[in-house]
Amino acid sequence: MAKLTTFSIGGVHPDDSKIARGCAIEVLPLPSTVYISMAQHLGAPAKPVVAVGDKVKTGTVIAEPGGFISAFVHSSVSGTVKSIGPRKDIAGNPVTHVEITVEGDEWEESIDRSDTLVTAIPEDRAAILDRIKACGVVGLGGATFPTHVKLNPAPGSKAECLILNGAECEPYLTSDYRIMLERSREIVVGAAIMQAVLGGCRCVIGIEENKPEAIAAMDAAVLSLGYPGIEVLPLKKKYPQGGEKQLIDAVMHRQVGSGALPISVGAVVQNVATALAVYEAVQKNKPLITNTLTVTGDCLPVERQHNYLFRIGMPLSFIAEQAGGVPEAAAKLVSGGPMMGKAIANLDATTVKGSSSILYLSEAATKRGKESYCIRCGRCADACPMGLEPFLLRRLYVAGDLEGLEKEAVQDCIECGCCLYSCPAYIPLLDQIRMAKGQVMGVIRARAAAAKAAAEAAKAAKQ
């Protein structure tokens, strides 16, 4: 057997804990009310285009992009707009939501709801991008970057390889795994659509070795559909294999430079769930109003593990109730995986486009050891997939040395948690580096804004 490929720097090997891998996707019933966030994509929040009292159908546009990096938002249900205003997200921050009272399930007539697989790839590149934009498709691998922007590189940039991320390297999560089993053909058509938009470049679907059934299903789909230039590449199981820069390293053996974008080395990375959303948008005219989410955790018995197809805007409390309620042994609730996910501070928060899990973790799984002194073992530096020195970044943060932090590239941290996972002294490295990164990024943004203002002032002075 050929040696499995992986990224070249750092990484760790947590137990994958894919307890819900055998649970087929179930369709959740509709709640009585949904609350749809205007800030569920990277960039500017969307601007509501509906008013209280308006009637909407499933798939109706309810908000338009608030800037170049932004996305359309659609109603995931049919009913009446009850309110528009702030509501707390999973972190407890107030975000504008559109509240809709559910009344039946009447879809926009333009949406093809049939199961018929549409395999012919449209030839009009601009029309494809417009459809992806109009349907509000964003990256579903975590960053939720608007997909139409990512698929349209700046002039002078050329995509050599489209990489589909099927690694799903975070422990516990199985939603991508299930769609690769159950929707493999649609994912491949979505890949072919994106491949065509990017000029017919090579396409590689990277899947970790601990998902042999998904590798086989995607291989079979690629073979049966026969699109040229698409292949499935098994990857070594290593976290964070699904990180954008790590995946590029594993597949193309190229490293993206500090502050650079993947397109600088000829790569465009999309998640397998994004490929499915692109298929539904382009071939079915279906907006991004559904996604797949795993309900899992170490304190849940196997029979209470689930993979659900959910509508955007469903309260997390509703989903938890459908899955049998919050287990008594749950010490922490997380949205996402245990390595990079966010603690759920508010179960009344609702699902967004990028929601991937409700993870219940026991006290044993969340308890940290008592912090002690750094023993200078270097394990955090060995584990860092970005080649940083977390122990040094922490020291600079404690000293308040923002210049030193920027020089040591704290802004390149991908917040994967490998340093924290590997530290034998239980030092909260990730927490402190995350705060340091926020401070440095603030300085960088302020500097860029000042430079832009100075350039505009100089230009105005010459006129």
Which residues lie closer than 8 Å to 43 by C-beta, 6 or more apart?
66, 67, 68, 69, 70, 71, 145, 146
Structure tokens belonging to residue 145: 């970057």
Angstrom CA distances, 177 to 53, 99, 223, 273, 404, stand at 40, 32, 19, 10, 41
Q: Are strands 61-64 and 94-102 parallel, antiparallel or unpaired?
A: unpaired
Angstrom CA distances, 181 to 213, 216, 266, 386, stand at 7, 9, 29, 32
169: helix, strand or coil: coil
Encode pLDDT of 307-339 as tens digits: 999 999 999 999 999 999 999 999 999 999 999
- Mean pLDDT, consecutive 10-residue stretches, the chain (463 aa), reads 85 96 98 97 95 98 95 98 96 95 97 97 96 98 92 93 97 98 98 97 97 98 97 97 97 94 96 98 98 96 95 97 94 94 92 96 91 94 97 96 96 96 96 96 93 88 82
Interatomic CA distance for residues 407 and 81, integer angstroms: 50
Rounded to two decimals, the pTM is: 0.95
Angstrom CA distances, 14 to 11, 132, 239, 357, stand at 10, 36, 7, 18
What residue has token string 């990857």?
235
pLDDT for 340 equals 93
Q: Are strands 290-297 and 357-362 parallel, antiparallel or unpaired?
A: parallel
Measure the CA angle with vertex 260, ends 266 and 399; round to 5°: 155
Interatomic CA distance for residues 113 and 60, integer angstroms: 15
- Taking the alpha carbons of 371, 376, 377, 379 in that order, is the dihedral positive or negative? positive
DSSP 253-314: ---PPTT--GGGGTEEEEEHHHHHHHHHHHHH---S-EEEEEEEETTS-GGG-EEEEEETT-
Across-strand partners of 5? 235
pLDDT for 2 equals 59
Counted residue by residue, the chain has a size of: 463
Interatomic CA distance for residues 390 and 218, integer angstroms: 38
Structure tokens belonging to residue 220: 């079979």
Stretch (H or E) spanning 235: strand 230-235
Interatomic CA distance for residues 133 and 288, integer angstroms: 10
Across-strand partners of 88? 94
pLDDT for 71 equals 97
Which residues lie closer than 8 Å to 157 by C-beta, 6 or more apart?
263, 264
